[in-house]
Protein backbone atom coordinates (compact mmCIF):
# COMPACT_ATOMS: atom_id res chain seq x y z
CA UNK A 1 0.00 0.00 0.00
CA UNK A 2 2.25 2.79 -1.25
CA UNK A 3 1.36 6.47 -1.49
CA UNK A 4 0.21 6.29 -5.09
CA UNK A 5 -2.11 3.31 -4.58
CA UNK A 6 -3.68 4.83 -1.46
CA UNK A 7 -4.00 8.22 -3.15
CA UNK A 8 -6.06 6.59 -5.89
CA UNK A 9 -8.54 5.44 -3.22
CA UNK A 10 -9.05 8.85 -1.63
CA UNK A 11 -12.04 11.17 -1.95
CA UNK A 12 -10.60 14.51 -0.77
CA UNK A 13 -13.54 16.00 1.10
CA UNK A 14 -14.89 19.39 2.16
CA UNK A 15 -18.47 19.29 3.37
CA UNK A 16 -18.52 21.90 6.13
CA UNK A 17 -21.63 24.04 5.65
CA UNK A 18 -19.55 27.22 6.02
CA UNK A 19 -17.12 26.22 3.25
CA UNK A 20 -16.55 29.00 0.73
CA UNK A 21 -16.01 28.81 -3.00
CA UNK A 22 -12.40 29.86 -2.48
CA UNK A 23 -11.88 26.96 -0.08
CA UNK A 24 -13.37 24.53 -2.58
CA UNK A 25 -11.02 25.83 -5.26
CA UNK A 26 -8.14 25.28 -2.84
CA UNK A 27 -9.39 21.76 -2.10
CA UNK A 28 -9.39 20.96 -5.80
CA UNK A 29 -5.88 22.33 -6.30
CA UNK A 30 -4.63 20.20 -3.41
CA UNK A 31 -6.44 17.15 -4.80
CA UNK A 32 -4.71 17.54 -8.14
CA UNK A 33 -1.34 17.98 -6.44
CA UNK A 34 -1.81 14.90 -4.26
CA UNK A 35 -3.09 12.73 -7.11
CA UNK A 36 -6.23 11.60 -5.30
CA UNK A 37 -9.13 9.88 -7.05
CA UNK A 38 -11.88 12.43 -6.40
CA UNK A 39 -13.02 15.43 -4.44
CA UNK A 40 -16.31 15.37 -2.54
CA UNK A 41 -18.22 18.62 -2.00
CA UNK A 42 -21.72 19.91 -1.37
CA UNK A 43 -23.94 20.09 -4.46
CA UNK A 44 -24.07 23.88 -4.28
CA UNK A 45 -20.33 23.83 -5.00
CA UNK A 46 -20.49 21.41 -7.94
CA UNK A 47 -19.96 24.01 -10.65
CA UNK A 48 -17.14 25.66 -8.69
CA UNK A 49 -15.34 22.36 -8.24
CA UNK A 50 -15.95 21.30 -11.83
CA UNK A 51 -14.27 24.44 -13.13
CA UNK A 52 -11.37 24.06 -10.70
CA UNK A 53 -10.80 20.43 -11.75
CA UNK A 54 -10.97 21.18 -15.47
CA UNK A 55 -8.24 19.37 -17.38
CA UNK A 56 -7.32 17.06 -14.50
CA UNK A 57 -8.00 13.37 -13.93
CA UNK A 58 -9.61 14.00 -10.53
CA UNK A 59 -13.28 13.08 -10.41
CA UNK A 60 -16.02 15.12 -8.78
CA UNK A 61 -18.40 13.64 -6.19
CA UNK A 62 -21.31 15.50 -4.62
CA UNK A 63 -23.51 14.53 -1.69
CA UNK A 64 -27.32 14.35 -1.76
CA UNK A 65 -29.81 14.22 1.08
CA UNK A 66 -26.90 15.24 3.28
CA UNK A 67 -26.33 14.91 6.17
CA UNK A 68 -29.57 13.67 7.73
CA UNK A 69 -31.14 11.58 4.96
CA UNK A 70 -34.55 12.78 6.21
CA UNK A 71 -35.69 14.03 2.82
CA UNK A 72 -38.41 13.02 0.43
CA UNK A 73 -36.95 10.67 -2.17
CA UNK A 74 -38.00 13.03 -4.98
CA UNK A 75 -36.00 15.83 -3.39
CA UNK A 76 -32.87 13.67 -3.05
CA UNK A 77 -33.24 12.44 -6.62
CA UNK A 78 -33.65 15.99 -7.92
CA UNK A 79 -30.65 17.19 -5.91
CA UNK A 80 -28.53 14.36 -7.31
CA UNK A 81 -29.63 15.09 -10.87
CA UNK A 82 -28.82 18.79 -10.49
CA UNK A 83 -25.35 17.93 -9.18
CA UNK A 84 -24.67 15.70 -12.17
CA UNK A 85 -25.93 18.40 -14.50
CA UNK A 86 -23.44 20.76 -12.87
CA UNK A 87 -20.59 18.35 -13.52
CA UNK A 88 -20.56 15.68 -10.80
CA UNK A 89 -19.27 12.25 -11.81
CA UNK A 90 -20.42 10.59 -8.59
CA UNK A 91 -23.21 11.05 -6.04
CA UNK A 92 -23.01 10.09 -2.35
CA UNK A 93 -26.59 9.86 -1.05
CA UNK A 94 -27.71 9.39 2.56
CA UNK A 95 -30.41 6.84 3.37
CA UNK A 96 -33.41 7.78 5.50
CA UNK A 97 -32.18 6.60 8.89
CA UNK A 98 -35.61 6.83 10.49
CA UNK A 99 -37.00 4.41 7.94
CA UNK A 100 -33.97 2.16 8.41
CA UNK A 101 -34.36 2.07 12.19
CA UNK A 102 -38.06 1.30 11.73
CA UNK A 103 -37.17 -1.65 9.51
CA UNK A 104 -38.89 -0.15 6.47
CA UNK A 105 -36.35 -1.54 4.04
CA UNK A 106 -38.74 -1.42 1.08
CA UNK A 107 -38.84 2.36 1.50
CA UNK A 108 -35.07 2.58 1.84
CA UNK A 109 -34.57 0.52 -1.30
CA UNK A 110 -37.15 2.52 -3.24
CA UNK A 111 -35.44 5.76 -2.25
CA UNK A 112 -32.06 4.51 -3.45
CA UNK A 113 -33.69 3.28 -6.66
CA UNK A 114 -35.23 6.72 -7.24
CA UNK A 115 -31.81 8.35 -7.05
CA UNK A 116 -30.33 5.64 -9.25
CA UNK A 117 -32.98 6.37 -11.88
CA UNK A 118 -32.20 10.09 -11.68
CA UNK A 119 -28.44 9.55 -12.06
CA UNK A 120 -27.96 6.45 -14.22
CA UNK A 121 -24.54 5.08 -15.16
CA UNK A 122 -21.88 6.17 -15.90
CA UNK A 123 -22.51 8.26 -12.78
CA UNK A 124 -21.36 6.30 -9.72
CA UNK A 125 -23.88 6.09 -6.88
CA UNK A 126 -22.62 5.65 -3.32
CA UNK A 127 -25.10 4.97 -0.52
CA UNK A 128 -24.25 6.36 2.93
CA UNK A 129 -25.78 4.06 5.53
CA UNK A 130 -24.46 5.82 8.70
CA UNK A 131 -23.16 2.51 10.04
CA UNK A 132 -22.39 3.77 13.56
CA UNK A 133 -26.10 4.45 14.09
CA UNK A 134 -27.13 0.94 12.95
CA UNK A 135 -26.98 -2.53 14.45
CA UNK A 136 -25.07 -5.22 12.57
CA UNK A 137 -28.35 -6.64 11.23
CA UNK A 138 -29.39 -3.17 10.06
CA UNK A 139 -26.02 -2.66 8.35
CA UNK A 140 -26.58 -5.90 6.44
CA UNK A 141 -30.12 -4.89 5.46
CA UNK A 142 -28.96 -1.44 4.33
CA UNK A 143 -26.24 -2.99 2.17
CA UNK A 144 -28.73 -5.44 0.69
CA UNK A 145 -31.10 -2.57 -0.15
CA UNK A 146 -28.26 -0.74 -1.92
CA UNK A 147 -27.41 -3.84 -3.93
CA UNK A 148 -31.04 -4.43 -4.90
CA UNK A 149 -31.36 -0.81 -6.03
CA UNK A 150 -28.23 -1.13 -8.22
CA UNK A 151 -25.97 1.27 -6.35
CA UNK A 152 -22.23 1.10 -7.01
CA UNK A 153 -20.92 1.60 -3.46
CA UNK A 154 -21.98 1.44 0.15
CA UNK A 155 -20.41 4.05 2.40
CA UNK A 156 -20.08 4.02 6.17
CA UNK A 157 -20.80 7.55 7.31
CA UNK A 158 -21.47 11.21 6.71
CA UNK A 159 -18.92 12.21 9.35
CA UNK A 160 -21.59 14.41 10.95
CA UNK A 161 -23.55 11.90 13.06
CA UNK A 162 -22.94 12.05 16.84
CA UNK A 163 -22.58 8.26 17.08
CA UNK A 164 -19.31 8.41 15.15
CA UNK A 165 -17.79 7.51 11.81
CA UNK A 166 -16.19 4.53 10.12
CA UNK A 167 -14.96 1.50 12.03
CA UNK A 168 -12.96 -1.47 10.84
CA UNK A 169 -15.70 -3.83 12.04
CA UNK A 170 -18.37 -1.99 10.03
CA UNK A 171 -16.23 -1.96 6.89
CA UNK A 172 -15.52 -5.68 7.28
CA UNK A 173 -19.22 -6.45 7.70
CA UNK A 174 -20.18 -4.30 4.72
CA UNK A 175 -17.58 -6.01 2.53
CA UNK A 176 -18.75 -9.43 3.65
CA UNK A 177 -22.34 -8.47 2.80
CA UNK A 178 -21.77 -6.99 -0.65
CA UNK A 179 -18.96 -9.32 -1.69
CA UNK A 180 -17.34 -8.07 -4.86
CA UNK A 181 -20.58 -6.68 -6.25
CA UNK A 182 -20.17 -3.18 -4.80
CA UNK A 183 -17.38 -0.93 -3.63
CA UNK A 184 -17.09 -0.03 0.05
CA UNK A 185 -16.21 3.52 1.09
CA UNK A 186 -14.90 4.19 4.60
CA UNK A 187 -15.65 7.75 5.64
CA UNK A 188 -15.85 9.66 8.90
CA UNK A 189 -12.87 9.97 11.21
CA UNK A 190 -10.25 8.53 8.83
CA UNK A 191 -7.40 10.95 9.48
CA UNK A 192 -4.17 8.92 9.69
CA UNK A 193 -2.23 6.53 7.51
CA UNK A 194 -2.64 3.75 10.10
CA UNK A 195 -6.43 4.05 10.09
CA UNK A 196 -6.59 4.32 6.29
CA UNK A 197 -4.50 1.16 5.85
CA UNK A 198 -6.67 -0.69 8.38
CA UNK A 199 -9.80 0.30 6.46
CA UNK A 200 -8.34 -0.94 3.19
CA UNK A 201 -7.28 -4.20 4.84
CA UNK A 202 -10.87 -4.63 6.09
CA UNK A 203 -12.24 -4.28 2.57
CA UNK A 204 -12.57 -0.57 1.76
CA UNK A 205 -11.94 0.36 -1.85
CA UNK A 206 -12.46 4.10 -1.34
CA UNK A 207 -11.77 6.39 1.62
CA UNK A 208 -13.46 9.71 2.25
CA UNK A 209 -11.32 12.13 4.23
CA UNK A 210 -10.41 15.76 4.73
CA UNK A 211 -6.93 14.62 5.84
CA UNK A 212 -5.55 13.32 2.56
CA UNK A 213 -2.19 15.07 2.88
CA UNK A 214 -1.66 13.75 6.42
CA UNK A 215 -2.60 10.22 5.37
CA UNK A 216 -0.27 10.19 2.38
CA UNK A 217 2.54 11.81 4.34
CA UNK A 218 2.14 9.29 7.15
CA UNK A 219 2.52 6.29 4.86
CA UNK A 220 6.24 6.87 4.72
CA UNK A 221 6.48 6.16 8.44
CA UNK A 222 4.66 2.81 8.31
Task: Give 53-103 pLDDT, tens digit per residue.
Answer: 999 999 999 999 999 999 999 999 999 999 999 999 999 999 999 999 999
State yes or no: is 16 an active-site residue. no
Q: Which of 126, 136, 155, 169 is catalytic?
A: 155
Of 92, 96, 126, 152, the catalytic one is 92
Check whether 105 has a pLDDT greater than 90: yes
Other beta carbons within 10 angstroms of residue 73's beta carbon come to 19
| pLDDT above 70 as % of the chain | 100
Mean local confidence (pLDDT), 107-112: 98
Distance CA 210, CA 189 (A): 9
Q: Which of 11, 126, 152, 185 is catalytic?
A: 185
Q: What is the pLDDT of residues 37-63, one digit of tens each?
A: 999 999 999 999 999 999 999 999 999
Q: Please, are residues 60 and 90 in contact by the beta-carbon 8 Å criterion?
A: yes
Predicted pLDDT of residue 2: 86
Supply the pLDDT for residue 149: 98
92 tagged catalytic: yes
Q: Looking at domain 3-221, which of 3.40.50.300, 1.20.1260.10, 3.20.20.70, 3.40.50.620 is its CATH number?
A: 3.20.20.70
Q: What is the mean pLDDT of residues 18-33?
A: 98
Q: Whole-model pTM?
A: 0.96
What would the mean pLDDT of 127-134 be, rounded to a whole number? 98
For residue 184, the model assigns a pLDDT of 98
> What pLDDT does residue 222 have?
76
The DSSP code sequence of the chain is: --HHHHHTTEEEEE--TT--HHHHHHHHHHHHHHT-SEEEE-GGGHHHHHHHHTTSS-EEEEEESTTT--S-HHHHHHHHHHHHHTT-SEEEEEP-HHHHHTT-HHHHHHHHHHHHHHS-TTSEEEEE--GGGS-HHHHHHHHHHHHHTT-SEEE---S--TT----HHHHHHHHHHHTTSSEEEEESS--SHHHHHHHHHHT-SEEEES-HHHHHHHGGG-
Amino acid sequence: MDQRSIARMLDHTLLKPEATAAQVVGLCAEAIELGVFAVCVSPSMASVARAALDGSAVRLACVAGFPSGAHDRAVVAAEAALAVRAGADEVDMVIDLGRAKAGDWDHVEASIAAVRAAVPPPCLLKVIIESSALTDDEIVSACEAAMSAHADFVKTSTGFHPTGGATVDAVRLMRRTVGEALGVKASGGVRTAEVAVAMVAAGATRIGTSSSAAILGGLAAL
